[in-house]
Amino acid sequence: MIITISREYGAAGRAVSHALAGHLGYSVLDEELAKVVATRLGTSPEVVDGSDMRPSGFAQRLMRSLTAAAPEVFHPPNQYDDLDVTVVREVERHMLEAASAGNVVVVGRFGNIVLRDRPDVLRVFLFAPLAWRIEHIMTSLGCTEAVARAEIVRVDRGRRTSARERYDFDFGDPHAYDLVLDVARLGVAGAVAAIDAARSALE
């Protein structure tokens, strides 16, 4: 089984993902994905992570549309690829490779869309009220309320923009997931239990 975890920023997505993987004995595709992709492309993990937050240009969107419509016909040379397009392709390739091995928790990077055609995928979205997320970020990063609030706006806006421009879906739309959970109500342990129950029901 592959479990994808999408989350609002500050909704304890990383804590839930790693606790879930430990509970199930699954591997986790998280921070190391950026390192692997960076190594393959000869760049840095920071560049890979940053590509998730940058909006696509018109040329990028057009190229992806043409490639998706006729991949056997349209093969633009790599030297004309924008770095972000190359990063996205490599992220997707590595994610598909990890999924083929099974028993993995995929954190973020729109795994719910990249892997949606697989029958063995459980797509989870984690959310929490804004005040709870601000408090969680303040505690985790040791920052002020103003900084935490600004980071939530910045990261969530970037994810929504990337979701629309790269995959044509609304980030957080419940129709794009199989399970939507309020971490503030359930806590990390409760979220893990709910995801595990959903996993069992699908197997």
pLDDT in tens, 129-152: 999 999 999 999 899 999 999 999
Query: CATH classification of 2-202 is 3.40.50.300, yes or no?
Result: yes
SS3 category, 34: helix
The pLDDT assigned to 45 comes to: 47
In this structure, how many other beta carbons lie within 10 angstroms of the beta carbon of residue 51?
24
Ordered DSSP codes for 73-129: T----GGGS-HHHHHHHHHHHHHHHHHHH-SEEEESTTHHHHTTT-TTEEEEEEE--
Q: Calculate the average pLDDT of the chain.
A: 81
Confidence of residue 41 (pLDDT cuts 50, 70, 90): low
Whole-angstrom Cα distance, residue 152 to residue 159? Answer: 11
What average pLDDT score do residues 152-164 get? 90
Check whether 33 has a pLDDT greater than 60.
no
The pLDDT assigned to 57 comes to: 44
Residues 82-135 pLDDT 10s: 556 777 787 788 889 888 888 999 998 899 999 999 999 999 999 999 999 999
Sign of CA dihedral 64, 65, 68, 70: negative
What average pLDDT score do residues 72-80 get? 40
The pLDDT assigned to 55 comes to: 47
Give CA angle at 6 (19, 181), nearest 5°: 70
